[in-house]
Amino acid sequence: MKIGYIRSAWVLGANSDVAVSICKELAKKGCRKFFLISRNNIKIKKIANYLRETYKAEVDEKILDLTDFDNLDNTSFYEVKDFDLYLITAGYLGNNDLAMNNIHEAKKILDSNFVGIVPWINAIISPERIKRKGCLWVFTSVASDRGRPSNYYYGSAKAGLQNFCEGLVARCHGKQFSVRIIKAGYMATKMTIGKVPDFLCIKTSDVAKILLRKPFKNGVEYLPWYWNPIMSLIKIFPNSLISKL
């Protein structure tokens, strides 16, 4: 089945394992134009060349680090062209213990997951763009639902992004443009490798297939769905239990 309606995709965090799977699935279904943003100009070549060689796709690349704010006043740096899908998969789990004592690690987690992403979302969600059909998919995390001792720097940054995007969902209500907030549970990627047992992680190829079933879905979505009841339970756990997680 071809997804005729997503012909072009702009990806922030294009070297993430889940973004690679989504780009491959998009290309398989007919997407032929990509704008890939990563902080690594060598790693990004792999997926860019794969899309060019396998699907004859038109692929542009941009290299940037979300913790670098030197270009904040340079509007051409944050310029975003017209794409059907805007996908944000950049994210950094970081080291919670280190962040407690090292402000640079704390700031890196907040900037990579929230503060550094905001200027890009601002550039995407222009009043003109949201009048037309299109979609923004943003990966947040189930970690945003309740602060836990093991990951509250990451979780709070994702919670900021989550809240920001909920505002956008409401702002785009009744418009052609949809905002999809993907609250992911464990996925088998380099972020979880060695930290989470394999059997608890969903494969990124399955994530891609699930998301592309309904590309213009709007609002908050747990992925996979069963994280919704799990998090509903975790949200009401007493602090005595949460303190052990």
Ligand X SMILES: NC(=O)c1ccc[n+]([C@@H]2O[C@H](COP(=O)([O-])OP(=O)(O)OC[C@H]3O[C@@H](n4cnc5c(N)ncnc54)[C@H](OP(=O)(O)O)[C@@H]3O)[C@@H](O)[C@H]2O)c1
Which residues contact ligand X by CB under 6 A?
13, 15-18, 38-40, 43, 65-67, 89-92, 112, 139, 141, 184, 186-187, 189-192
Give the Å distances, CA to CA, from 70 to 37, 73, 114. 17, 8, 17
Name which of 43 and 132 has its Cβ closer to ligand X: 43
| Closest alpha carbon to 13 in 73, 101, 123, 92 | 92
Q: Give the position of tokens 């949460």.
A: 242
Q: Shortest distance, CB of residue 89 to ligand X, whole angstroms?
A: 4
Q: Shortest distance, CB of residue 40 to ligand X, whole angstroms?
A: 4
Residues 6 or more apart whose CB falls under 8 angstroms from that of 40 comprise 15, 63
Q: Shortest distance, CB of residue 138 to ligand X, whole angstroms?
A: 8
Name which of 27 and 138 has its Cβ closer to ligand X: 138
Name which of 79 and 128 has its Cβ closer to ligand X: 79
Name which of 48 and 184 has its Cβ closer to ligand X: 184
Q: Shortest distance, CB of residue 208 to ligand X, whole angstroms?
A: 11
User: Which three-class secondary structure state does DSSP give residue 35?
Assistant: strand
DSSP string, 194-224: TTS-GGGSB-HHHHHHHHHHSTT--EEEEES
